[in-house]
Amino acid sequence: MKGSEKMSFINWANSIVKKFTIIDVFLIELSSLAFGILLVALIPSLMEINIWWIITVIILLAIKPLYTSLKK
């Protein structure tokens, strides 16, 4: 993908996200949670993962959105 094509995709994605309401974001979060529950139901061995690995992943995934929301 060329640079201009990539930017047009990013611009397109941003234009879609700007249309979301807080309800849309909440529903996306709930569907992600339901997907996680489904994975655990289908693969019970996922419950054996050490809680600290999960906490580490959550923190790593939260860094960029938190930084973006707090920068000027």
Q: CA of 7: how far to CAs of 2, 15, 17, 65, in Å?
A: 9, 12, 15, 20
Query: pTM to 2 decimals?
Result: 0.66
Identify the pLDDT of residue 6: 65
- The model's pLDDT over 1-16, given as tens digits with 9 standing for 90+, comes to 565 666 788 898 889 9
- The model's pLDDT over 11-42, given as tens digits with 9 standing for 90+, comes to 988 899 999 999 999 999 999 999 999 999 99
